[in-house]
Amino acid sequence: MALLGHEKYALASGGNSVQQRLDVAVLKLGMYVAELDRPWIETPFLFQGFVISSEEELAQLRAYCQFVYVDIQQSRVPVDARSGTIPRRRRTKPQAGSPVIYRPPSVPLPRSTDLKSFRKTTRQAGKARETSRVYLRQVFHDARLGHSLDTEEAKAVVRQLVDVISTDANAAVWLTQLKRKDEYTSLHCLNVCVLTLAFCRYLGYTGEDLQTIGLGALLHDIGKTQTPLEILNKPGALTRDEFSVMKRHAEDGYQLMQRTGKLPEVALSIIRSHHERIDGAGYSRGLLGDELELPVLAVAIADVYDAMTSDRVYHRAMPTDKALRMMYDHADNAFGRTLVEAFIRCVGIYPVGSLVQLGNRAIGLVMDADENTRLLPRVLLVKNADGRMREKPKMVDLSAVSNEGKIAAWTIRRVISPGEAGFDPRRIMMEQAGMQLAALG
């Protein structure tokens, strides 16, 4: 399926739900698990709500739960209501050796621990972002005019971003939510670079390797400087011919950068292959999974995630949780389940910068990506429970307040849009990062 290809994204369907409580013993592949008998956070499952798609997931459900609630309408197989009547038995702890989701090696990302240090690192990240943004805008302008590109400066930009990620990855990723429609292509390259650096550092890449991957990510769409602007900025679906032209950017970028003779092979591979998918349905060469290096797939994931969560002339930004969910649902075809799971663990189920409404209806911005508290991150509270804007945003650690017995009020109810929140989250971010509001455009 080429759904996670370049420009075609769709929201997952919603709808009313009818739930049936079922013993884990009678669960079947294709059933939609809407709720567990224990907090999701205590299980290896990434999402609240999923279709059982493997024997491994069935085994995990049986290891961790006694019963679950199955959504009848969202299930892909019939759900027998009679099987829901079950005798109660004692819940047993998962035994040693119980199957768990395979987890690749991961390195905790550095993060600041309080609002003061977060502000400080956000300001550093803001400065690095501005330098990178100005560089990319210039590079895209120069490349379109056929001028040669300064790869040394690109290396300096990546070095600066690696430093920021190594100081406080959350602050840098937080700022990827600062998007602008008018500078989409260059800002997208910057965001993909930041997300990729955070992801690859999480996967254990360091030093020169991280630098090389970052360089490929920063310039991954440089070939779009060869794409006619009327196609690049077309407000609406591309025709088949136009899409063929658009697809050329991967190969064009590769040729352009190869000619400089100054980019490492892995960076060139990233530029050439970031639209390939493991099932062979990607472009330009239709490569298969085992022909794609891990850094290429890491950039491909960051690329799709940033595109899905950005406003474009032809589609509205998708909420972060829905985008991750959709990527997860298509992981087997696109990037591989293990790697997508690792990305979700890295950025969090509620990624930093997500706008969330809490149980008490207060509204804030997620500031954390600690996988141990993935459902209870730290949130920068912007609106109080009574709906009033706070004079000064306040940091709230949801895992701490929920430990005080206030779990219903202080858990995340849902991700919301800026329109629903009634304020522009980018302004809050700009203030925290000490950036000029005028730069928002």
Q: Where on the chain is the footprint of Fe ion (CB under 5 A)?
A: 221
Nearest approach, Cβ of residue 304 and Fe ion (Å): 10
Q: Could you tell me the smallest distance in angstroms from the CB atom of residue 14 to Fe ion?
A: 30
Nearest distance from residue 321's CB to Fe ion, in Å? 24
Provide the minimum distance between the beta carbon of 274 and Fe ion in the complex, in angstroms, as a whole number: 6
Query: In this structure, which long-range contacts are made by residues 402-406, counting pairs with CB atoms below 8 Å and at least 24 apart in sequence?
Result: 402/376
The CB-of-283 to Fe ion minimum distance in angstroms stands at 10
- HEC string of the chain? CCCCCCCCCCCCCCCCCCEEEEEHHHCCCCCEEEEECCCHHHCCCCCCCEECCCHHHHHHHHHHCCEEEEECCCCCCCCCHHHHCCCCCCCCCCCCCCCCCCCCCCCCCCCCCCHHHHHHHHHHHHHHHHHHHHHHHHHHHHHHCCCCCCHHHHHHHHHHHHHHHHHCHHHHHHHHHCCCCCCHHHHHHHHHHHHHHHHHHHCCCCHHHHHHHHHHHHCCCHHHHHCCHHHHCCCCCCCHHHHHHHHCHHHHHHHHHHHHCCCCHHHHHHHHHCCCCCCCCCCCCCCCHHHCCHHHHHHHHHHHHHHHCCCCCCCCCCCHHHHHHHHHHCHHHHCCHHHHHHHHHHHCCCCCCCEEEECCCCEEEECCCCHHHCCCCEEEEEECCCCCEEEEEEEEEHHHHHHCCCCCCCCEEEECCHHHHCCCHHHHHHHHHCCCHHHHC
Burial 193-230 (b: 16+ CB within 10 A, else e): bbbbbbbbbbbebeeeebbbbbbbbbbbbbbbbbbeee
Q: How far is the CB of 155 from Fe ion (least distance, A)?
A: 21
Q: Which residue is nearest to Fe ion (CB)?
A: 221
Residue 173 or 271 with smaller CB distance to Fe ion: 271
Nearer to Fe ion, 6 or 426 (CB): 6
Closest residue by Cα to residue 195 from 308, 46, 355: 308
C-beta of 253 vs 319, nearer to Fe ion:
253
CB 246 to Fe ion: min, Å: 9
Sign of dihedral through CA atoms 157, 159, 163, 168? Answer: positive
Closest CB to Fe ion among 168 and 221? 221
Q: Which is nearer to Fe ion, 217 or 396 (CB)?
A: 217
CB of 303 to Fe ion, least distance (A): 6
For Fe ion, give the closer residue by CB, 251 or 370: 251
Nearer to Fe ion, 221 or 252 (CB): 221
Q: How far is the CB of 224 from Fe ion (least distance, A)?
A: 7
Q: Give whichever of 221 and 306 is closer to Fe ion, judged by the CB atom.
A: 221
For Fe ion, the closer of residues 304 and 349 by Cβ is 304
Tokens 């994931």 correspond to what residue? 301
Q: Toward Fe ion, which CB reaches closer, 71 or 221?
A: 221
Q: Which is nearer to Fe ion, 23 or 221 (CB)?
A: 221
In the complex, least distance from residue 181 CB atom to Fe ion, rounded to whole angstroms:
17
Q: How far is the CB of 301 from Fe ion (least distance, A)?
A: 13
Token pair listed for 418:
């800026």
